[in-house]
Amino acid sequence: MRPDSEALIVIDVQNDFCDGGALAVPGGSGVVPGINAMMLDFAAVVLTQDWHPRGHASFASSHPQRAPFDVVEMPYGAQVLWPDHCVQGSAGAAFHPDLTVDRANMIVRKGFRPGIDSYSAFFENDRTTPTGLEGYLRSRGIDRLVMVGLATDFCVNFSAVDAARLGFAVEVRTDLTRAIDLDGSLEQAMDGMGDAGVRLV
């Protein structure tokens, strides 16, 4: 069992990001067995869940004349427009049915504000509005994080970099993540995580 000062952060292992989902990450379902096994080693397990209202600003369907994966400028910066996904209460927003969700001490829902996306488990995409996860971890005396889940180059990447910026020691288990790899985004993410001091295992 890992020390109480360590937590496993499981990022967005939801139906829409897994095989057959609205925004499927190639091989996404394949991370589930390994993540379930890892959960047994941690007293602290946190799951994150993308949780968008219908008509969210990050959906391509909310922008006439735009297509999925176009990039637009939002007040908080560049935003990839995604297919509608992880809509609140939908089957696509649910966790993968084989994920051992009962091991979780906390579930962080993100992306629920209609006008701003949220890749990171710690902040909205304005990089300043907090989700509350940092406070929860600090209150439990946790200072080391292991991150797994989907997708390596977006939500895992942003979560890991933000955690390192906040002073946590961060490890990403790359065998238990999968990437979208949109126009070289995986290489950029790996370089950025390394530069931030994230340990890639």
Q: Would you name the residues annotated as active-site residues?
A: 12, 110, 155
- H helices within the chain, ranges in order? 32-39, 133-139, 157-165, 185-195
Q: How far is CA 55 from CA 26, 30, 61, 86, 160, in A?
A: 25, 30, 7, 12, 28
**Residue of 119, 109, 170 whose CA lies nearest to 142:** 170
Hey, what are 197's tokens? 């001091």
Q: Residue 61 in contact with residue 23, Cβ under 8 Å?
A: no
Q: Tell me how long the chain is.
A: 201
Backbone angles phi, psi at 146, to 5 degrees: -115, 125
**Residue of 196, 21, 199 whose CA lies nearest to 94:** 21
94 vs 17: CA distance, rounded Å: 10
